[in-house]
Structure 1
Amino acid sequence: MAPLTQAADLDITIQNLTSGMSFTPILAVAHTPDASLFEVGEAASAELQAMAEGGSLDGLASIGATINADALANPAGGLLLPGMSTTGDLMTADGNTVLSVVAMILPTNDGFIGLDNWTIPTEAGTYTVYVNAYDAGTEANDEIRGGGAPGTPGMPVPPPLADAIGENGSGVTTTSNNMTVHIHPGNIGDADQAAGVSDVQNTVHRWLNPVAKVTIVVN
């Protein structure tokens, strides 16, 4: 099937396939094939780091504007909870022939869902893509409560998740052995919500790839 070269009208649905993880505000962008939001095996940009560690879309949205991408930002109006879906419309301009989708995964230190440069088909129809969890490689996966600012240890814990996350964990690790974007190894967690090594529940905050399903309707 030939790639798209002209403008398109897309309906995009993102479904959280996990049973215990949440996604921060989602960013879907259509852009030219020579650009990308992230590259597996390469160091994360500062903009990707801000999204993966704290859920901020500002930097990536700014990059999108610079490269004249078409963006669908935060279609869920906040967190996308386990098992839930959200849908939005995206009109693409001529030349913006690939689709990328990102959002931070909570609770993690720097995990994110990532669809990279998926070629938008020319033929009208419904297309489904399954999306994996990636690790930005910018922060040690200590799995403890903390801040969401880049370079700040710990995981951000927004109010909807406050009661589900433990406290006083000592930290699973203090180092990151892979400082490039790579498939996330998953949370370790423990069963102690008042101490232990992790503030993540080992019976709740785990997953297997894929973590998201993206359904694209080309109208």
Structure 2
Amino acid sequence: MKKTLASVAITSAFLGSIAISSVHAAEIDVTITNATKNIYFTPLLVAAHSSDVYLFRTGESASPEVEAMAEGGDISGLASLASNAGAVVASDPASGILDPGVSATASMDTGDANRLSITAMLLPTNDGFVGLDSWEIPSTPGTYTFSLNSYDAGTEANDELAGSMPNPPFINFGSGGTGVETTVTNDKVHIHPGNLGDSDPNGGLSDINSATYRWLNPVAIVTVTVK
């Protein structure tokens, strides 16, 4: 079924019981840079939360809210769950799509939160997303930089067909592909293998051009400034 990009929510992130940490409040700036050549990020979700709250877990089944984010770029469900669990949320700091090579910054007062999580769908993919899961926010002021991998939500086969992915005007799909995968081979959240693609715009396995949209991890650089 054809998917469309979902509207951006003004709230954020997910699951777990509320547990207030004893870590002191901190003001932080979180800068996310799209480090890919031609892959786009849908609206980002940035959440500061307690250790009992999380957006996703590697090796576990994706929640319906993670599925909606990873397959269609819809962060509204994750945003609501996170906010309801006491998380401090910054939704869509890029004000839309984050283009390759471009950065976006979220400024947050973390309150009692001591963990940081980030998600956004990758385009073009079936159910791929950039992710940070519960990184511990340092209590010492300073600047901290690290890279992020991409994850596969495990909710949809990576067929790489135009009819199975969001189709925004800035993505140039081919047609006539028969499908790289026909079934889900790993139904848990896992490291994404990257697009396979091919060089046949009117057939082959994939509707993704391998010369343009093939990629490897990592896909993002994050800089956190603790004030």
Which residue among 108, 114, 124 is the counterpart of 1:97?
114
TM-score by length of 1: 0.91
Match for residue 130 of structure 1?
147
Deviation string, structure 1 residues 98-141 (Cα, Å, up to 9, x no partner): 00000000100000001000000011110012100100000000
The CA distance in 1 between the partners of 2:22 and 2:127, in whole Å, is: 33
The CA distance in 2 between the partners of 1:196 and 1:4, in whole Å, is: 56
Match for residue 219 of structure 2?
211
Report SS of the residue matched to 1:160. coil
The amino acid of 1:18's aligned partner reads T
Note if 1:110 corresponds to 2:115. no
Match for residue 151 of structure 1?
none
Once the 2 structures are TM-superposed, how far is the Cα of residue 180 of structure 1 from its aligned partner?
A: 0.1
Match for residue 60 of structure 1?
78
TM-score by length of 2: 0.88
The amino acid of 2:158's aligned partner reads N
Listed as ranges, the gaps of 5+ residues in structure 2 are 1-20
After TM superposition, the structure 1 = structure 2 runs for residues 1-219 of structure 1, keeping only pairs within 5 Å, are: 5-94=23-112, 96-146=113-163, 154-161=164-171, 164-219=172-227
Length, aligned pairs only? 207
C-alpha change, 1:114 and 1:4, in structure 2 (3 Å) is farther
- Aligned structure 1 segments of 4 or more residues deviating by more than 6 angstroms: none
The CA distance in 2 between the partners of 1:91 and 1:4, in whole Å, is: 15
The amino acid of 1:14's aligned partner reads I
- Over the matched positions of the two proteins, sequence identity in percent amounts to 53
Once the 2 structures are TM-superposed, how far is the Cα of residue 64 of structure 1 from its aligned partner?
A: 0.8
Listed as ranges, the gaps of 5+ residues in structure 1 are 147-153
